[in-house]
Amino acid sequence: MNLVKFLEENWILVLVAAASGGMLLGPVLRGGGGGASVGTAEAVRLINKEKGVLIDVCEPGEFAAGHAAGARNVPLGSLDNHKSLPTNKALPVVVMCPSGMRAKRAVARLHKAGYANAVALTGGTAAWREASLPIEKAA
């Protein structure tokens, strides 16, 4: 069976395959809708080996209930020019929140502010806990 005949007889399948491929490639081509993300192992490496800064963008009440050890609390609503952000914009900045969704939005904002090495922690605090990494609570 030649290719032209196959395409003529199965045009609907070809159309569906092209549409689904486009939907899968869309977020990749748009930059993931919020910037780069890393898993817990890469986040720990960035913090320990490259002097990365861990920023938690959850609200103060959520932060007090439990956060990654050493994280700085910078709520998403007050992210712009917050005093807890590193002054050296070349440092890696690992951004987290309870699920990872707010962190992705924060990374996009940080990239616009010049923090080229900002990344979101995939899975957020839940992934941090699941990896048995240290969690602190407010006293």
**Active-site residue 97, yes or no?**
yes
Q: Is 42 exposed, middle or buried (0-12, 13-18, 19+ CB in 10 A)?
A: middle
> 135-136 and 93-96 as β-strands: parallel, antiparallel, unpaired?
unpaired
Distance CA 129, CA 84 (A): 23
Q: Which of 97, 107, 110, 120 is catalytic?
A: 97
What count of Cα atoms within 13 Å lies in the side-chain half-sphere of residue 16?
Answer: 4
Q: Are 123 and 38 in contact (CB under 8 A)?
A: no
Residues labelled as active-site residues: 97
